[in-house]
Amino acid sequence: MDRATINTLHRRLLARLQTDTTDCAATPGTVAASSFTCPDLLARERQSLFARTPQPVALSGEIADPGDYLTLQVLGTPVLLTRDEGGAVHAFINACAHRGSPVALGSGSARSLICPFHGWAYRLDGRLRGRPQADCFSSSEPHSELRSLPVSENYGIVVIGLTQDMPQSHIDNALLEIGEELRSMDLASYRPLARRAFSVRANWKLVNDLSLESYHFHSLHRDSVAQILEANAVVDTFGRHSRWAFPFKSIAALEDRDEAEWPDQLQGSCTYTLYPGVMLVVNSLGAQFIRAEPGPGPAQSNVDFVGMCSDMERAKEATQAFEFGEKVFAQEDLPAAEACQQGLSARGGELPLGRNEPLLQFWHRLWREACEEREERS
């Protein structure tokens, strides 16, 4: 983030802190409880927001060097990301061309990807390197390579498509509207601390909603986040993406300093939400990358929670910050989402979205319109 943007955010955050207010929507809104419980809606979301939409799935630093690989589950599809010897990123269905066994597990670095079932070996660009008893197979089989998926790497973020027919331009331009903001953060230089996976008994949108408003800070996070952060947030949208910034309590010290003396790093935290709903939480030590996707039913979701470090000389501090964030997420946020899911399933009806929850209004509108648009085309 450049100095001008940081100073602008500091001014806006200080103004909100001084008046004890937050950025608001023009009017209140509503969302139907059925949007979290309806199986038919979930089926449309899986298609319109996930299967047919480019998916940000990882940060470049997770496969930083030639030979690196990372395996993922994306909407039930086993996905393999690699960086080949020339530095190019590839995405494949993680399935051997012979019998479909995965050719890699977890993450790491390797010269070849070897299927544990029959020993077929693949280059990092997906081409077959060799196989036992090769003379028993046709040497010209076009289907002996790994099945590729469309992929792009821009602004330090890896985006894939789950279908081979998704236009490459859609993948390449998925983050274009917020690209300059992302570029200024140099995310490609970040390195991984840890990747966690959670199975949650709540709708994927309820998980995302946790990172779209600060109204809950003083109650749900009274003894954790609220001890270091204020709830006086400012919000911005970038096409189909958004930014939500909120200040450290220490930002009040800037009121008595000339702007020329303000620090180069934001005195607070920013949560970027990347369409269709991936959270990128950025602070002075690094970032957290949180991706929630639908599970098999409306009350189930799968969540990836990744910690990244922006300066490995401060890896210890960054790890402590990541562990703090993970603890809050796992012990406070996710239980709240699961409890809300039970309540919404029983209560039904319409739920109010306050003026003080502008990003909830923004994102629920985007999700609803995407599903309605697909339904109209069907």
265-287 confidence digits (pLDDT tens)? 999 999 999 999 999 999 889 99
185-209 confidence digits (pLDDT tens)? 999 999 999 999 999 999 999 999 9
The structure tokens listed for 320 are 């402590």
Nearest-angstrom CA–CA distance, 286 and 192? 9
pLDDT of 374 above 70: no
For strand 89-93 and strand 301-309, is the pairing parallel, antiparallel, or unpaired?
A: unpaired
Per-residue confidence (pLDDT) for residue 135, from 0 to 100: 85
Backbone angles phi, psi at 230, to 5 degrees: -90, 160
Nearest-angstrom CA–CA distance, 225 and 223? 7
Per-residue confidence (pLDDT) for residue 375, from 0 to 100: 62
Per-residue confidence (pLDDT) for residue 276, from 0 to 100: 97
Residues 59, 364 contacting (CB under 8 angstroms): no
Per-residue confidence (pLDDT) for residue 18, from 0 to 100: 94
The structure tokens listed for 284 are 């002075």
Per-residue confidence (pLDDT) for residue 140, from 0 to 100: 66
Per-residue confidence (pLDDT) for residue 260, from 0 to 100: 92
User: What's the first-to-final CA gap in the chain, in angstroms?
Assistant: 41
Average pLDDT of the segment spanning 209-213: 93
Predicted confidence band of residue 330 (pLDDT cuts 50, 70, 90): very high
118-160 confidence digits (pLDDT tens)? 999 999 999 999 998 888 888 666 678 999 999 999 999 999 9
27-84 confidence digits (pLDDT tens)? 999 999 999 999 999 999 999 999 999 999 999 999 999 999 999 999 999 999 999 9
Average pLDDT of the segment spanning 314-325: 95
pTM, to two decimals: 0.95
The answer to whether the bond into 335 is cis (omega within 30° of 0) is: no
The backbone region for 100, taken as left when phi is positive above 0, alpha when psi lies in -120 to 50, beta otherwise, is: left
